Structures are given as structure tokens and as C-alpha cells.
Structure 1
């Protein structure tokens, strides 16, 4: 690993010299081109180090990045008495960060470039190291496109995906190519193919993080986001069976751990101490009191102290206590199973998985049945489900459980996007600011609009 990190430093310096305008498709030139599997592995390791040390902002994320995502949604509010201004100030609403999403765009396409380099330029193929490199390159390219899709494309509509705008797909090096946006369906298909290719290598290497099980969890996420409920179920079930839910102190210790991956967490950032990672962690922790937890979120905990998440997530002053965390864990798979079965009208199975999660979080819980499900909140911000219809009590119960379970893990913003992109306003500096529907989809960086003929900007954004 030490040799790989040394090689990484050489490669990072080299790639830093590549023109920013051409990060989509530049094939590196010069003498410092990786040749061995070890050198290609080091190229991937430069990205993995960012995750391990807690300063990655685009691939898996970090505590501060997840906290900012929470600031965009409705789990927390802007404080009217405590404020933070100046450099590094937390966003008051998504409009404060729309332009800066270009950094994620650039970072993810840089990752795609490096993954393409491994996939198409590495000649070694039969060694265990080479297979790990291929598996990781396909996995991380799929993750990069998945993250880009959720940020820069409209919510996936299974019936209209072939017409929806996707992304510039770059899978090979071509100095002359200037790819325009494909369809959203084509992007989803590429991501699925990359994940399946990564899985086919059956990687178990913890060094490369994106093991076979981690990629399967991402595949379940993809099917869930693209409304392929039937396909999401077996993949999510396999992961949940392999990583059973934990409860009580094991659960809270798992989510409180620093520099450790515990319990049923398959992947997490910030495993190693670093100055940048420590800054992100401490900043996120320090900013929590500035964004009070919303009363509507607190009111979801009907069992109050009997629910382990109640005291773990916030205190009586409405200050969040759960430190933001970037991870992949099996509780999400349980929620995917519950919701996927619900959309397929398989109510027994949906209730089983919903009750399974509740049984691990609530002492003396009462199992939900179709007869005692809570009523849909007619005053809630979210009114439309992922398929564009009104919530049923079952889907609403699953929706609320997901909100409680994945609090401070960067999920809520994408749940709002997936469920109708509701518009809402907040107070900021004495004025009223509105999160409008188009803001759920970040703008394509103007650099790309200028660089690529025929490149279409997302709706709602105009070049100033």
C-alpha cells in the first residue's frame, strides 16, 4: 500500500497538469503513464485515499458534505437567533450551493477519466491485483455516473426515461469527441452494466473498498432510484441477509464510531485520521446547533424515548446530536425492500420489512398491520410518491421510517427530489427564499455548455 501511495503522488501531480476544460475526455500524454497493475491500482488509490481520510466530496462524501445536504431539506431549519456568516458558512437553502455543484461535476468526471484509463489501457489481466483494479474501476465509474445522475438529471421517470436528458457518456478516450447529453435511460443502463461487470470479478479486497457486496448495495440503490422494484428486491435482500440489522447500543456505537467501520456498515468514509478529514468532522459537529431540528421531524417519533433514534438524533433544545455520516449500510436495504414490495402491492412482505426495522429500533414496538398504519399527513411537505400518485398509508409509513433512520446521512434531499420535488420556503437574512422545483436538479457547468456544441442546459437556468 505504501508503494502504491508513492506512485499515486506522481500520478496526481501529472494529472493536475491536464487542462480543466478537457477533463471529460483527455487521454494523458507524456512519459508518466501507468503501465503495471500496481501503477493503475495507485491511480485508483488516490481516490480511495480521499474517502478513507474523510475529505472526498463527490464519491461517497464526508460529514460536512452530508450536513450540507441536510441543510437543503426539511429535517432542519434556519436558526433565527444563531447565525454563521463568511467563508465556510453553512448553506441556508439549496440556492446557496447550486453553482458550487460544478466541483462535484468536475471531480466525478475526473474519476471517470481515470477509471476509463484503467479499463482500456491496463494490459495486465490475469493477476489478482489486475482483477481488483478492473473491479474497482468499473464500480467507481458506475458510482460516479450514479451520483452525477442524481445531482444533474431530473428525477427518474420510468415511463419517460428515454426522453429525459441524461449525461455526457464518456467510456473511451477520444481527443476529438465532444459528447452531448444522452438519454437518462442510457445513463441508467451504463451504470447497471458497470456494476454488473464489477460484481463479476467477485472482489473481496478491503484495500479497494468497493467489494462485491458494496457494489451490490449500489446496484440495489440504482434499481430503487430508477423504479425497477422487481429487480431491487433480490439484490437488497441478499445484502440484508448477509449484514443483518443490529440494535440497541451496537446500533448507536456503530453510528458514533470514528475511524472505524462497524456493525452492518458496508462502506464508510473517514476511516483514517487526517487534517482535512478532522476539519470536516469537527465542522459538521460544530455547526449542528446552528440548524435546529424541525418540529415536524421530531413529531415523527411517536414512541419518543422508546425509539433509540429519538435521544440519539437530537436533544430537548432541538439541537441535532447525530454526527453526519457518509456510508452504505444494510438498514437502507431493508427500507428499499419494504418500499419496493409496497409499490408491487405485496403488502405482507412490505409490512414484514417495515416491522423488522421498527423491531430493532423501538422497545416494545407495536407491529404495523394494514389496519393500524398511521394516517397520511395531509399537511406534510411531501404529497406525491415516487410514481407521481398520492401516498397510501403503507407507503407513507415507510417514507417516514426512512426519514428517521437515515437522518444526517444525506438522504432526505434526494428523497424530496424522488417524491415530487416539493417547493417550500425558508427565512434567510430577514428575507424569504424559495426552493423551487427546478432547483432539485443542479445546473450543468457553463464551461461544458460553452465547450460542447449542442449541449443542453437543465431547465430553469440561464447563462448570465
Structure 2
């Protein structure tokens, strides 16, 4: 656990005191940080939140997983009222507050970038790189939560670009395309410092993995393939084998095997008691049969089955936010599919299956299962009908990233399907607009140039 110097922490608190919705910092005559070490305290405080599992807005934590898995369709509804959230419509007010909270990290990153950029000490360079990386990842998460799914044909609203602290500034949302360029630029700036010091968490290939995730969301397939190929060849990570999978996926703190980065690597936030409670109520809803059926007639041969849920279909997987090499592999598979490289796409699927299923035979284009009727996702990210090959990619992704907060965004990315559930005698319908959370009403009221997302009237 990082030890934050008391004086530096006090100075950090002073500099973070501000007002206004747009991240204004008005020092009010207080002493503000001047040295590298004093500004570093701001970054280390945020890194400590990630390590202790308190952070929700960069890598994420169990609360994020509880929300997104609760919204999605991997879990059946409760027969009676339960603790775990049932559908996204219950979370409208909470997500407005989360929107405001995310900007506090952007504010901290901007403070460090403005004041340390240009200083040539190791501390300054490490902090500035980490600040650019965290800011870029926060923007990536804001995009997924608060912007509509990417559509090249539409001029959709993006996320405001905020680089300084002008209390009178009222930036517009701009376009989603502009936000993509801006966010990729932040991550590129982080990489320009050649970050290799693990003290700051965000080293080169972790940042490149987030660039790949960002490009994947925006269907920039050439960039996805370029970044993914680099990561596979040069990062030093390999797919975790079936023998080591359970140890890797259910590790309490350590980022093992193919895990490039994860949150909650210690108890510095003193929240382990809460995470134990969270794991308990995540097991209050059984896994849906459509997910269980993906494991086939001999599910015990797939190491992911026993590592995910028990014989009662209740969760046993440790719910942590992480970036793994298997995600890189499946993004490469889908990117190649959309580029028409079907053999390469299927090759990546088989690479993953060999490390997960005992005695598995490689799939071929001729032996792929026909497209099933009744699946939730029936169109891809471009509105085209799902094919047997894409279905195989989706199936592996759903099995691989169950209880890692992935399924909700897969539904959003691929058609925003609508469905309903019954709980405690009431019917809840996930409408298309609910995949995109509302931005803060306070920001909309404060700035007439901020457009609220469709479907929300306050």
C-alpha cells in the first residue's frame, strides 16, 4: 500500500477544493502544491484507490460489476425481491451522480498535467504519463456509459473536452467522432513518456490494451488488429492455460497469468469486508440457462464452467475488473471477422478454446453451429444479421467474461436488444434508450449547450 505523506495529502485536499460543474479550481488564497512530490500525492491517491478496489471510474471495482451484471441478461431474475439491481432503469439517478464523480478524476489529472508537464524528473514524467492514461481511460468509460453506440452514419453527441479550470467555461459535448480522436490522443500522450515504472500502474502495454478497447468500441478494425498484433507479439503475456485458469481468475489480489492489469490488488481501501458482502449478493440470482447451455453437453471439460458457478447455477467467480489477454484475442477475432478475414478470425477463437476446453477439436467454418433462434443478440455492431462465425466469437466472449462486467456493453454494442423480466410480481423492460445513461441534470441545467441523451426528460 502506498504511504501518502501527510503534508502532501493535506496540500492535495486544498488544491482540490473548487466549485462549479466544470472542474473549476479556485485556490481561495490557500497554499497549493509546488514540488514534484506534492503533485505526485494527487496521482498516488488515485492509484491507491485502484489498488484497494475503491475506484469505479478507471479500471473499476465490484460495484461496477454488480451494476452491469445486474442490468444484463447473464443472471435470471429473483423469485422475490433481492439486493442485486435488476435492470438499468433502477439506476438512473445513481448514474447521474457517477457522471459527476468521474469528472473529479479528470480534474485531478488535469492539475498534474498542467503543473508537471515539461518537468524532466522521473517523478514528474511518471505522474504525467499516469495522468494522461487515467484521464483517457475515464473518457473511454464515459463514452461507453453516457454516449450512444457508435454509428459512423450519424453525428452523435460525445463527451465534453475539458483541459483546464475555467469556472465560466461551458463546453459542448461535441461529436462522438471528436471524442474518439481526443481520447486516443490522451492515451498516445501517455505512451509518449515510454512508461515502464509499475509504481504508476499504467505501463506501455496496459495503455495499448486500452487503446485497443477504445478502437474496438469505435469499430476501427485496422487499428484494433495493429494494436492487438503488437500486444500478442511483444507484451510478454501469453494465454493462461486450462491448468492455471482457475488460479488466475479467482486470485484474491494478484494479477496472475494473462492479466495485464486489475483493480483490488490489496486492502489499502479497507473495503474487503464490503467486497465479501458484494460477492454474496452477486450469488443471489442464478445464472440464466442460455449461458449454461453454451458450455455444451460436457460442460465439465471447459475450465470456465466450474470456475464460474456451482451446481445450483449460483456465482462462484471472483468478480474483479481486469484486462486480460483473452480479451485481446477475441477483439482480434471480431476485428478480422469484420475485415472479411474469416480464417484468421476463427484461428483466434480456436487459440482460446484450446486453452480452456480439455480435448477440444478445432472449429472449422464448415462445422460451426448454425445461428440459434431466440438469442438476445441478433445483429452485429453494424446492424447486419449474426452469422455462425460471429456467433462463435460472441459465445466465447460471453463464457470468458461472465461476471467481469462485459455482457451489458456487448448488448449495447450489438443492437441494444429490448427484453423484460418479472420480479416480485412486477414487469421490468430494458428499453433501447436505457443502454445509454443520462448525464447529470445539473450539468444540463447549468450549460444550455449540453444535450441530454435521448429518452430522458427531467
Cα distance 1:172–1:353, how it changes in 2: closer, same or farther (>3 A)?
same
Structure 2 residue aligned with 1:182: 174
Question: Does residue 121 of structure 2 align to residue 133 of structure 1?
Answer: no
1:155/1:7 CA distance change after superposition, 3 Å: farther
Question: Would you say the 8 A contact 2:117–2:125 is kept in 1?
Answer: no
Which residue is 1:231 aligned to? Answer: 223
Q: Distance in 2 between matches of 1:330 and 1:275?
A: 27
Does structure 1 residue 412 correspond to structure 2 residue 404?
no
Q: Tell me by how many angstroms 1:428 deviates.
A: 2.2
- Residue 6 of structure 2 is matched in structure 1 by 6
- Quote how far apart the aligned CAs of 1:122 are: 2.2
Q: Which of 91, 116, 119 is residue 122 of structure 1 equivalent to?
A: 116
Structure 1 length-normalised TM? 0.94
Tell me, in whole angstroms, the C-alpha distance in 2 between the residues paired with 1:454 and 1:360: 50
Q: Deviations over 1:272-303 (max 9, x none)?
A: 11464313421221113311100001001114
Counterparts of 1:36 and 1:311, CA distance in 2: 51
Alignment-derived partner of residue 334 in structure 1: 329
CA distance in 2 between partners of 1:193 and 1:6 (Å): 34
Instruction: Pick which of 170-179 and 197-206 moved more.
Output: 170-179
- Which of 201, 204, 208 aligns to 1:212? It is 204
Structure 2 counterpart of 1:397 = 392
Match of 2:429 in 1: 434
d(CA) in 1 for partners of 2:392 and 2:163? 41
Cα deviation for residue 31 of structure 1 reads: 2.9
Question: 1:211–1:319: structure 2 CA closer, same or farther, 3 Å change rule?
Answer: same
Residue by residue, what CA displacement relative to the aligned partner does 1:53-110 show, whole Å, maximum 9, x if unpaired?
11112221112321221110110011215x43xxxx3211111112101232122211
SS of residue in 2 equivalent to 1:379: coil
SS at structure 2 position matched to 1:290: coil
In structure 2, do the counterparts of structure 1 residues 309 and 378 end up closer, same or farther at CA, with 3 Å as the change threshold? Answer: same
Which residue does the alignment assign to 1:264?
258
Distance 2:15 2:356 in 1: 47
In 1, Cα distance between equivalents of 2:158 and 2:284 = 36
| Contact 1:8-1:46 within 8 A present in 2 as well | no
User: 2:348 matched to 1:349?
Assistant: no
- CA, structure 1 residues 459+437, in 2 after alignment: closer, same or farther (shift >3 Å)? same
Give the one of 286, 292, 296 matched to 2:280: 286
1:456 aligns with 2:451: yes
Of residues 191-200 and 58-67 in structure 1, the stretch that sits farther from structure 2 once superposed is 58-67
Q: 1:171 to 1:16 in 2, by over 3 A?
A: closer
Question: 1:170 — aligned with what?
Answer: 162
Aligned with 1:360 (options 349, 355, 360): 355
CA contact (8 A) 2:149 2:413 kept: yes
- Structure 2 residue 48 is matched with structure 1 residue 54: no
Structure 2 residue aligned with 1:98, among 66, 74, 92?
92
User: TM-score scaled by structure 2?
Assistant: 0.95
- From the superposition, tell whether residues 209 and 27 of structure 1 become closer, same or farther in structure 2 (CA, over 3 Å): farther
Aligned equivalents of 1:3, 1:325: Cα separation in 2: 24
CA distance in 1, matches of 2:279, 2:95: 22
More moved, 278-287 vs 320-329: 278-287
The residue aligned with 2:146 is 152
| Offset of residue 2 of structure 1 | 5.5
Q: CA deviation at 1:351?
A: 1.0
Q: How many residues align?
A: 455
Q: Is the 8 A contact 2:48 2:268 kept in 1?
A: no
Structure 1: gaps of 5 or more residues = none
Structure 2: distance between partners of 1:155 and 1:276:
36
RMSD over aligned Cα, in angstroms?
Answer: 1.7
SS in 2 for 1:266: strand
8 Å contact kept, 1:27–1:174: no
Give the deviation of 1:383 after TM superposition.
0.9
Displacement of 1:454: 2.8
Contact kept, 8 Å, 2:23 with 2:167, in 1: the verdict is: no
> Does structure 1 residue 301 correspond to structure 2 residue 317?
no
